[in-house]
A and B are shown apart, each in its own frame.
Chain A
Amino acid sequence: MTSQQKWIAFITIVRREIQRFLRIWPQTLLPPVITIVLYFVIFGTLIGSRIGEMSGLPYIQFVAPGLIMMSVITNSYSNVVSSFFGSKFQRNIEELLVSPVPSWIILLGYVVGGMSRGLGVGLIVTVLSLYFADFSIHSLPVTIAIVLMTSLMFSLAGLINAIFARNFDDISIIPTFVLTPLIYLGGVFYSIDMLGEFWGGVSQINPILYMVNAFRYGIAGISDINIIWAFTMVTLFCVLLFAVALNLLDKGSRLRS
C-alpha cells in the first residue's frame, strides 16, 4: 500500500468509528453526561458543601478535574472495547483482516476512534462542569497533553481487552473489577495525603493517580504528584500498551485461527 492508500484506510476506520458512536448516541454520549451531572450534584454541591476545602481548593473545584478525567477514561476505554469486540463477535473484523491494511493502521484507527469519543465526552462534561464549578485553566499545554495521553492509554487498554475477550462477560470484567476501582482509588475524590504513608505508597502504582493529578495541576495548579514524574509514567504505560496491542494484532492473536 502506498502512503496515500494507508491514509485513506486510516481515515476510513476513524470515520466509521465516529459514525458508530454518533449513531448510537443515547448509549454512548448521553449516559456519561447524566452520570457526571449526578456526581457534580451529589459529591460537588450536596456533600461537597459540607466537606469544605481539599488541598486548598473548594471541594467541587478539587473534584471537577477528576470527574472530567473519569469520563475521558471510561469513554475512551469502552468505545474501543465494545467496537472491536463487536466486530469480532459479528465477524466483520474480517473485512479488515482480508484487506492489505497494516496492523499499525488498524491499531491507530481504533485508538483514534476511542480518543474521539473520550475527548468528545470530556469536552461536554467540561462545559457542564462550568455550571457547577468556577475554575480557570492553570496550564493549557499540561491540560491538553495529559488528557490526550490518558485517552490514548485507555483506548489502547480497551483494544487489548477486546482482542483477548471471548464473550461479552470478558469485556465487562475489566471495567467493573479493575477500571472502576482504579478510578475511585486514583485520587478523583480525595487527596492521597489523606491516606497515610502506606496506602499513599500503594496508590503510586495506580496509573490513574498520575493522570488525575497531572490534569488537576493543568486546571487548578495543584497536584499530589510531581508533574514530570506523572508524564513519564503515563508515557511509559502508553508505549508499553502500544507495543503489546501491536504485537497481538501482528500475530493475529484470537483473530486468525
Chain B
Amino acid sequence: MQPALAIEQLSKTYEGGFQALKDISLTVQPGDFFALLGPNGAGKSTTIGIICSLVLKTGGKVSIFGHDIDKDFSQAKQLVGVVPQEFNFNQFEKPIDILIHQAGYFGIPRDVAIVRAEKYLRQLGLWDKSHVPSRTLSGGMKRRLMIARALIHEPKLLVLDEPTAGVDIELRRSMWEFLREINASGTTIILTTHYLEEAESLCRNVAIIDHGKIVKNTSIRELLAQLNKELFVLDIRDPLTECPEIEGYPLTLVEPNTLEVEVEKSQSVNHLFEVLSGQGIQVLSMRNKTNRLEELFFTMVEKNLTGESHD
C-alpha cells in the first residue's frame, strides 16, 4: 500500500537565504493520525505549505498516496485537504458560498456541493450561520469553517496546521471528537499543534521538527516510554508545617496541604505511600503535574540546540 505521505530529502531555502527545511524525510501511513511538532519557526508550516503547494520547495520529493506533487499535480491535490493556521477565506462571503466555491474548484457539481456543504456545516455546528457574512463568525467558528472547507472534496489526507489555536477548551474537545470520527472513517490526518496534550490525546505517531530537521520520528507510545521520571502532586488531608523526608523520593511542600514528589520510572509509588502512611500523612488524591509529552518535547528540542546526535 502506498504511504499517505512520503517526503524524501525535502529542502526549502527562502529568498533571503533562510534555510527552513534541511533535507527532511518522513513517511505517514494511510489511516494514521500523525502529529508534527516543533517550536515556532521550526519548519512545520513550511512542510505543510509544500505538501499543499502554497510553498515552492527547493529540493526533494513529495508524494501523496503515490502521486508526485510535481509530476501528478492534479491527482495529488485531489487527495489533500488543508486547514491553514491563519484565516484565509473571503470574509465577505457566506460560509455556504465559501464551501460551494471550494467544491467547484475541485470539479464537484454544484448540486452535490450544496448537499455536502450542508452536511459539513451541520456536523461542525455552523448550519445556523451558513448564510451570514463569514466575518461575523467567532474565532472558533472560523476555524470550524476552514475544517468544513478542507473536507468538502472528501480528501483522503487531511492536514491541519494548529487547528485549535485560540479555541476554548469545550470547543477544542468537540473538535477533537470530530477529528477522531473523521480519522476512524479512514481519513489520514496530519496535525501540527502547540498543545502537546492535543497530540498525546489524538495522535498515534509523531515527528518532532526543529531548526528544519526531524529530531524524532516515532510512535507516541514509544516516545512516552522514554520518559525517565514524572512529577506528581499529592493532596494530603492534614496540613503540614514541615516537608517530610523520604530517601529516594525528593519531596517539596508547595502548600500546607500539597506535596510534590519526583518519581523515577524504576521506582514504585507503593513504597512512597507506605512511608507517608507510616508518618501519619494521608494522601487524598494524586495527579501528574507535567504534561509528559511536553517534557519530552523540551528535552529533545534542547538537545538539538546543544548539538547532540539523534536517531
Contacts and interface: CB of A to CB of B under 8 A. Distances in A.
Nearest to B56: A256
B148 to A, nearest CB: 13
Interface of A: 1-2, 4-6, 8-9, 11-13, 15-16, 19, 23, 86-87, 90-92, 94-102, 252, 256-257
B158 interface: no
B27 interface: no
B104 interface: yes
Which 4 residue pairs are nearest across A and B when measured between Cβ atoms?
Answer: A5-B107, A12-B104, A99-B105, A91-B88
Nearest to B76: A100
Interface string B83-111: 01011111110000110111011111110
B78 interface: yes
Interface stretch (B33-41, B47-55, B224-232): B47-55
Given A5-B106, A257-B55, 16 more contacts: A4-B107, A9-B104, A12-B104, A13-B105, A16-B97, A86-B90, A87-B90, A90-B91, A91-B87, A92-B89, A95-B105, A95-B149, A97-B53, A98-B53, A99-B105, A256-B54
B89 A9 contact: no
B230 to A, nearest CB: 41
Most B C-beta atoms less than 10 A away, residue of A12, A92, A99: A99
Contacts of A4: 107
Nearest to A3: B107
B80 interface: yes
Given A100-B73, A252-B56, A12 B86 contact: no
B2 interface: no
Interface in B58-77: 73-75, 77
B109 A257 contact: no
B56 A100 contact: no
A13 B216 CA distance: 43
A92 B106 contact: no
A16 B92 CA distance: 12
